[in-house]
Structure 1
Amino acid sequence: MDSDAPDRAPRTGRQRARVVGVTVVCLLAGILFGTSAALARQDRDGSPTDLVELIQQRDQQVQELAEQADGIGDEVAALRAEWASSRTGRILQQTDELAAGVGLARVSGPAVSVTLDDAGYTLATIPEGYSVDDVVVHQQDLQGVINALWAGGAEAVMVMDQRIVSTSSVQCVGATLYLQGRVYSPPYTVTAVGDPEEMLAALDADPVVTTYRAWADAVGLVYAVEELGETELPAFAGTSRPQHARVIREG
Structure 2
Amino acid sequence: MKVNGKHVVLSFVCLVLGFIISYSYQLTQEEDNKGTDKQWERDYSIRETLIKTEERTLELQQELQKKQEEVSLIEEELAEGEQLLFNLVEDVEKLRMYTGKVKVQGRGVEVTLSDASYVPSQENVNNYIVHESHVFNVMNELFISGAAAVAINGQRITKNSYIICNGPVITIDGNQFPAPFVISAIGDPEVLIPALNILGGVKDQLVADNITVKMIEKETIILEPVIQ
Q: TM tier, shorter chain?
A: 0.5 to 0.7
Q: How much has 1:160 moved relative to structure 2? A: 0.5
In structure 1, C-alpha distance between the alignment counterparts of 2:130 and 2:117, rounded to whole Å:
11
Give the alignment partner of residue 114 of structure 1, picking from 102, 111, 115.
111
- Counterpart check, 1:209 vs 2:215: no
In structure 2, C-alpha distance between the alignment counterparts of 1:89 and 1:229, rounded to whole Å:
27
In structure 2, C-alpha distance between the alignment counterparts of 1:152 and 1:136, rounded to whole Å:
26
The 5 A counterparts of 1:91-102 are 94-102=91-99
Q: How much has 1:128 moved relative to structure 2? A: 4.2
Residue equivalent to 2:162: 169
In structure 2, C-alpha distance between the alignment counterparts of 1:211 and 1:88, rounded to whole Å:
44
Give the alignment partner of residue 140 of structure 1, picking from 112, 116, 133.
133
Q: Retained in 2: the 8 A contact 1:145–1:203?
A: yes
Give the alignment partner of residue 222 of structure 1, picking from 187, 212, 226.
212
Residue equivalent to 1:187: 180
Residue 209 of structure 2: SS of its match in structure 1? helix
For structure 2, the 5+ residue unaligned runs are: 1-80
- Counterpart check, 1:158 vs 2:151: yes
Residue 100 of structure 1: SS of its match in structure 2? helix
Pick the structure with greater CA Rg. Answer: 2
C-alpha RMSD of the superposition = 2.7
Give the alignment partner of residue 130 of structure 1, picking from 123, 134, 151.
123
Q: Retained in 1: the 8 A contact 2:150–2:157?
A: yes
For structure 1, the 5+ residue unaligned runs are: 1-83, 239-251
Q: Retained in 1: the 8 A contact 2:104–2:222?
A: yes
Q: Which amino acid aligns with 1:140?
A: S
Q: Which amino acid aligns with 2:227?
A: A
Q: How much has 1:109 moved relative to structure 2? A: 1.0
In structure 2, C-alpha distance between the alignment counterparts of 1:168 and 1:227, rounded to whole Å:
25
Q: Could you state the TM-score of these two structures normalised by the residue count of structure 2?
A: 0.57
Change (3 A) 1:89 1:154: closer
In structure 1, C-alpha distance between the alignment counterparts of 2:163 and 2:183, rounded to whole Å:
12
Residue 210 of structure 1: SS of its match in structure 2? helix
Q: Retained in 1: the 8 A contact 2:108–2:189?
A: yes
Residue 144 of structure 1: SS of its match in structure 2? helix
Change (3 A) 1:88 1:154: closer
Give identity over the alignment, percent.
Answer: 28
Q: Retained in 2: the 8 A contact 1:178–1:184?
A: yes
Stretches of 4+ aligned residues off by more than 3 angstroms = 87-94, 206-209
Q: How much has 1:225 moved relative to structure 2? A: 0.6
Change (3 A) 1:128 1:145: same
